[in-house]
Chains A and B, each alone.
Chain A
Amino acid sequence: MAKTSRLGNAWHVCLAAAVAAFIGLSPMAGQAQTAGGDLVVVQSSNPPSLDAMVTSSQASRNITMNIYEPLFGFSENIRPIPILAESVEISEDGKSYRIPLRKGVKFHNGKEMTAEDVKASLERYQKHGATQTMLKPVESIEITGPHEVTLKLTESTPTFLEAFASPRAPAVIIPAEEAGKGPSEIEFIGTGPYKFVEYVPDSHVKLARFEDYSADESHEGIDGFGGKKTAYLDTVTFRVIPEPGAAVAALETGEVQLLEQLPVPTARRLASNADIAVYENMPWAFLTFIFNMKEAPGDNPKFREAVQVALNDEEVMAIATEGLFHLYHGWMYEGSTYDAGDIGKDHYNLADADRAKALLKEAGYNNEPFSILTDSTIPEHGKAAVVIAEQLKAVGINAVINQVDWPTALNIRLQDQGWNGWTLMMGIEPYLGPAALISTLTGAAPHFRANDEQLDALYQELISTDSEEGRKEVFARIQKRLYEFFGIIKLGETGLMQAARANVKGFKPFRFPRVYDVWLEK
Chain B
Amino acid sequence: MIGFLARRLLSALPVLFVVSLVSFIIIAIVPGDVTAEIAGSDSTEAQRMEIRERLGLDRPMVEQAVRWYGRLLQGDLGDSYLLNMSVTDAVLERLPVTLSLAAIALVLAVVLGVLLGIVAAIRHDSWLDQGSMSLALFGLSVPDFWFALILISVFSVGLGWLPTGGYVPASESFLGWARSMTLPALALAITQMGVVARMTRSAMLDVMSQDYIRTARAKGLRRHSIIFKHALRNALVPIVTVIGVMTGVLLGGAVVIESVFSLPGVGRLIIGAIQRRDYPIIQGGLLITAATFVFVNILVDLAYGWLDPRVRDGR
Q: A residues within 8 Å of B by Cβ? A: 46, 48-49, 54-57, 130-133, 168-169, 183-185, 200-204, 239-243, 245-246, 249-250, 252-253, 255, 377, 404-412, 414, 440, 444-445
Complex Cα gap A169–B163 (Å):
35
Q: B residues within 8 Å of A by Cβ? A: 30-34, 36-45, 47, 82-84, 90, 94, 145, 148-149, 152-153, 156-157, 160, 163-167, 258-265, 268-269, 272, 275-277
Partner of B262, one of A49, A184, A241: A241
Pairs of residues from A and B, 5 with the lowest C-beta to C-beta distance, nearest first: A407-B32, A56-B40, A202-B264, A411-B32, A203-B264
Judge whether A201 and B167 touch: CB under 8 Å. Answer: no
Which chain A residues lie closer than 8 Å to B82 at the CB level? 48-49, 184
Which chain B residues lie closer than 8 Å to A185 at the CB level? 84
Judge whether A445 and B45 touch: CB under 8 Å. Answer: yes
Judge whether B261 and A57 touch: CB under 8 Å. Answer: no
Which chain B residues lie closer than 8 Å to A255 at the CB level? 156, 163-166
Judge whether A253 and B276 touch: CB under 8 Å. Answer: no
Judge whether A408 and B31 touch: CB under 8 Å. Answer: yes
Judge whether B43 and A243 touch: CB under 8 Å. Answer: no
Partner of B276, one of A407, A409, A444: A407
Judge whether B262 and A240 touch: CB under 8 Å. Answer: yes
Judge whether A249 and B152 touch: CB under 8 Å. Answer: yes
Q: How far is the CB of B174 from chain A (nearest CB, A)?
A: 18
Beyond A240-B262, A406-B275, 15 additional contacts (C-beta under 8 Å) are A48-B38, A48-B276, A130-B39, A184-B84, A203-B264, A204-B166, A243-B145, A250-B165, A253-B163, A255-B164, A410-B36, A411-B31, A412-B31, A444-B44, A445-B44
Partner of B36, one of A46, A183, A243, A407: A407
With contact pairs A57-B40, A242-B259 given, residues A201 and B152 touching in the complex (Cβ less than 8 Å): no
Judge whether A408 and B32 touch: CB under 8 Å. Answer: yes
Judge whether A130 and B259 touch: CB under 8 Å. Answer: no
Which chain B residues lie closer than 8 Å to A48 at the CB level? 37-38, 82, 276
Could you list some 17 contacts between A and B, CB below 8 A? A48-B276, A54-B39, A55-B38, A130-B39, A201-B83, A239-B262, A240-B262, A246-B148, A246-B149, A246-B261, A249-B152, A249-B157, A250-B163, A255-B165, A408-B30, A414-B45, A440-B42
Partner of A407, one of B84, B166, B167, B275: B275
Complex Cα gap A505–B259 (Å):
30
Which chain B residues lie closer than 8 Å to A133 at the CB level? 44
Which chain A residues lie closer than 8 Å to B269 at the CB level? 201-202
Judge whether B149 and A245 touch: CB under 8 Å. Answer: yes
Q: How far is the CB of A499 from chain B (nearest CB, A)?
A: 15
With contact pairs A243-B262, A412-B31 given, residues A405 and B275 touching in the complex (Cβ less than 8 Å): yes
Judge whether A250 and B164 touch: CB under 8 Å. Answer: yes
Judge whether A245 and B275 touch: CB under 8 Å. Answer: no
With contact pairs A48-B82, A55-B40, A57-B40 given, residues A377 and B275 touching in the complex (Cβ less than 8 Å): yes
Which chain A residues lie closer than 8 Å to B30 at the CB level? 408
Q: How far is the CB of B123 from chain A (nearest CB, A)?
A: 38
Which chain A residues lie closer than 8 Å to B45 at the CB level? 414, 444-445
Complex Cα gap A241–B43 (Å):
28
Q: Please, which residue of chain B has its CB at the minimum distance from the CB of A245?
A: B149
Q: How far is the CB of A458 from chain B (nearest CB, A)?
A: 20
Which chain B residues lie closer than 8 Å to A245 at the CB level? 149, 152, 260
Q: Interface centre among B33, B163, B165, B269, by most A CB within 10 Å?
A: B165
Q: Please, which residue of chain B has its CB at the minimum distance from the CB of A424?
A: B41
Q: How far is the CB of A433 from chain B (nearest CB, A)?
A: 15
Complex Cα gap A246–B257 (Å):
11
Which chain B residues lie closer than 8 Å to A246 at the CB level? 148-149, 152, 164-165, 260-262
Judge whether B40 and A131 touch: CB under 8 Å. Answer: yes
Judge whether B167 and A203 touch: CB under 8 Å. Answer: yes
Q: How far is the CB of B134 from chain A (nearest CB, A)?
A: 27
Which chain A residues lie closer than 8 Å to B34 at the CB level? 407
With contact pairs A240-B262, A249-B157 given, residues A131 and B163 touching in the complex (Cβ less than 8 Å): no
Judge whether A253 and B166 touch: CB under 8 Å. Answer: no
With contact pairs A242-B262, A407-B37 given, residues A202 and B152 touching in the complex (Cβ less than 8 Å): no
Complex Cα gap A405–B163 (Å):
32
Judge whether A203 and B262 touch: CB under 8 Å. Answer: yes
Q: Please, which residue of chain B has its CB at the minimum distance from the CB of A377?
A: B275
Which chain B residues lie closer than 8 Å to A241 at the CB level? 165, 262
Judge whether A407 and B33 touch: CB under 8 Å. Answer: yes
Q: How far is the CB of A129 from chain B (nearest CB, A)?
A: 10
Q: How far is the CB of B35 from chain A (nearest CB, A)?
A: 9
Q: How far is the CB of B33 from chain A (nearest CB, A)?
A: 7
Judge whether B260 and A243 touch: CB under 8 Å. Answer: yes
Complex Cα gap A131–B41 (Å):
10
Which chain B residues lie closer than 8 Å to A201 at the CB level? 83, 90, 264, 269, 272
Which chain A residues lie closer than 8 Å to B47 at the CB level? 132
Which chain B residues lie closer than 8 Å to A445 at the CB level? 44-45
Complex Cα gap A307–B39 (Å):
33
Q: How far is the CB of B157 from chain A (nearest CB, A)?
A: 5
Which chain A residues lie closer than 8 Å to B264 at the CB level? 200-203
Q: How far is the CB of A479 from chain B (nearest CB, A)?
A: 21
Q: Please, which residue of chain A has its CB at the minimum distance from the CB of B261?
A: A246
Q: How far is the CB of A248 from chain B (nearest CB, A)?
A: 9
Q: How far is the CB of B226 from chain A (nearest CB, A)?
A: 46
Q: Please, which residue of chain B has its CB at the minimum distance from the CB of A254?
A: B160
